[in-house]
Every structure is written in structure tokens, then in C-alpha cells.
Amino acid sequence: QQPVQSPQAVILREGEDAVINCSSSKALYSVHWYRQKHGEAPVFLMILLKGGEQKGHEKISASFNEKKQQSSLYLTASQLSYSGTYFCGSGSGNTGKLIFGQGTTLQVKP
């Protein structure tokens, strides 16, 4: 089943923070975050493999709450380059299958 992302869309000013949530009705074995800019391919941001894990990449970080079957992506002091659609993916072992959420569109304005 597809993970559900919230919010569906968010508009920010440069320098503001945002949180994108991803929740699943089924157990999450791993959570993958991707960003897709308009007309381009999805690009990998980070993967969280264990409950309680937190990761960071410059001013973008994520957490994974295995018990709640949720993950959150945190964007701090957003930049114009952060604009795009963010997808979380629920991973299952064995096959490499990723089921993506419906996406969250982030627009950062000057």
C-alpha cells in the first residue's frame, strides 16, 4: 500500500523551515527520500534503515519512527534550490521494491 505524505504542497520564503511527513499503514522496513525537480529525474536524498535513525545532509535531515510507521523530512533555512517534489518510498527487502508516496510539492520563493 502506498505511503501517505503530508502536506501535499507547501510554499515557503527563503530561509524558512518545512517538515514533510510520510506515514504508512503497513510496516516500514526502510524509508527512502527523493527530490524531483520539474522535468528531471528523481534524485536520492537519504535512506533510513532502522527505527529511531536520524540522518542529515547539509540542511536537510530525516527521522524514522518505526513503531509509528512514520518518517519525517526536515528542511532547514530553505534555499531556492530546495524547490521540487519530494517523495518518500517504502522499501521492502528481497526484491528491492520501492512504493512511493504521492509526493509533496515544495516551492521556495525569494
Give the footprint of another protein on residues 61-80 (CB under 8 A).
Answer: none
Residues 28 and 66 sit within 8 Å (Cβ to Cβ): yes
Edge-to-edge strand ranges of the sheet holding 54-57? 4-6, 18-23, 70-75, 60-65, 54-57
Tell whether residue 29 is a contact of another protein (CB under 8 A): yes
- Least CB distance from residue 69 to another protein, whole Å? 16
84: Cα within 13 Å, side-chain hemisphere:
21
Cα gap 35→104, rounded to integer Å: 9
CB of 77 to another protein, least distance (A): 26
Beta carbon of residue 15, minimum distance to another protein (angstroms, whole number): 27
For residue 41, the SS3 value is coil
**Which of 20, 64, 87, 108 is the binder for another protein (CB under 8 A)?**
87
Query: Given the complex with another protein, which of 16 and 23 has the nearer CB atom?
Result: 23
Residue with Cβ nearer another protein (76 or 92): 92
Minimum CB distance to another protein, residue 9 (Å) = 11
